[in-house]
Amino acid sequence: MYRKEEQPLPPPEKFELPFEGKLSPNNRWVIMAELIPWDDFEEEYAKLFSAEKGAPAKLFRMALGTLIIKEKLGTSDRETIEQIRENPYLQYFIGLNCYQQEPPLESSMLVHFRKRIDGELINKINKKIVKREIHKSDKEVKKKDCLQEKG
């Protein structure tokens, strides 16, 4: 049986968020953000820009994060920016401190990001992530071995 509820939808400003204003640490974008060594590559990315000329560049986390979102979601440049504009988890992933309704960048910026963040840099980042995770895993195994020896 179907019964239509006659409750009108609330206006967007009264729409209740399920996470009550906090992001879930179990969200895939939050987890992935913790895996990527953003700061380790910020300096290398900064070297691609002039210190005196041009408009201030977007931070490395925003540039790489936006490209990762685009690839992971399989969206166009414009749709990627729209997804980021609508999703607080994606905004967190690219390094914003709080949710904002305005897009944090223009879709045309992705062309510049792709030129600067090449396959070589992506490979360095991937190697660093793998090396760090292997190291973390080795530490956990050693810890378990020590506990087993004591027990």
- Domain-by-domain residue ranges, the chain? 25-118
31-34: which pairs have CB atoms within 8 A and are 24 or more residues apart? 32/68, 32/93, 33/65, 33/92, 33/93
Q: Find the angle CA(94)-CA(53)-CA(49) to the nearest 5 degrees.
A: 45
> How is residue 82 written in tokens?
């729209």
Quote the pLDDT of residue 4: 61
∠ CA 120-123-125, rounded to 5° = 115
Give residue 122's pLDDT: 92
pLDDT at residue 90 in the model? 95
pLDDT recorded at residue 3:
63
DSSP helix/strand/coil, 121: helix
- Whether the CB-CB separation of 67 and 117 falls below 8 Å is answered with yes
Side-chain-side CA neighbours of 75 within 13 Å: the count stands at 17
pLDDT at 20: 67
Cα–chain-centroid distance for residue 106?
A: 17
pLDDT of residue 145: 67
- pLDDT tens for the 151 residues of the chain, in order: 556 666 676 676 676 666 667 888 899 999 999 999 999 998 889 888 888 888 888 999 999 999 999 999 999 999 999 999 999 999 999 999 888 889 999 999 999 999 999 999 999 999 999 999 998 887 777 666 666 666 5
